[in-house]
Amino acid sequence: MHGPALPGWLLVVLCGASGGYCLLRMRAGRSGAERRAAGGEAVMGFGMALMALPAAVLTPPEWGWAVYAVVFGCAALLGLRGAVLRGGHHLHHVVGSLAMVYMAVAMAAAPGGPGAHGGHGAGHGGAAVATGGIPVLTGVLLAYFGVYVLRSGARLVPVTGAGVRAEPTGGGAVGVGTRGELALVCRLSMGLAMLAMLLSL
């Protein structure tokens, strides 16, 4: 599938903006765990933005996908360590990092090697579209990120009546990097981008 470059550029902007906001969150984090989580999400956002660049702008060298696989393989190991020690959102980081490894391997394994095709689908090299990855694994990841996006979106819907969440009442202003709903929007955006990338395999 050799679609127009516009979807790729939209993914670049979305993921780049999410990565930039995660850097703000990392700087504003109150604890080491918060800063590490935000840093991991920033790496994911910028990695996805690079992966989504249209082929006309950047065709990765043959070793580029191996670098992706190593970087996000290490991120998955760090996330797994965090999940074992602290649980919580770290398991999602592990799944996201492993999905990035999977997409990089699928692109590297394309017939003719990485960059063998001139165009990108929805932000990926045509090579990835040619291989399609492993359908069952792609389906499992699509189901996971689909559920994640729906759950994240539902958490953004305002609750009325007795279930309404109280806003912070402290005297100081809430910084942009510490707004919980913006962090959730950032994660939702990256989940949507991951769905688009997986669909382009």
> Cα(174)–Cα(153) distance, rounded to whole angstroms?
22
Dihedral in degrees, nearest 10, Cα atoms 125, 122, 48, 11:
140
- How high is the pLDDT of residue 195? 95
Its pTM stands at 0.78
pLDDT along the chain (201 residues), means of 10: 69 94 88 83 93 82 89 91 73 92 88 46 41 86 96 83 47 53 88 92 81
Q: What b/e readout covers 62-99, taking b as 16+ CB neighbours within 10 angstroms? A: eebbeebbebbbebbebbbebbeeeeebbebbbbbbbb
- The residues that bridge with 125 in the sheet, in sequence order, are 120
- How high is the pLDDT of residue 192? 94
CB within 8 Å of 49: residues ≥ 6 apart: 11, 12, 15, 16, 19
Cβ contact 115:60 at 8 Å: yes
- Which token pair is 163? 């279930």
* % residues pLDDT > 70 (the chain): 74
- How high is the pLDDT of residue 1? 34
CA triplet 90, 108, 89: central angle to 5 degrees?
A: 5
Of 105, 30, 36, nearest to 65 by C-alpha is: 105
Tens digits of residue pLDDT in 113-158: 544 443 344 444 443 334 568 999 999 999 999 999 999 889 888 7
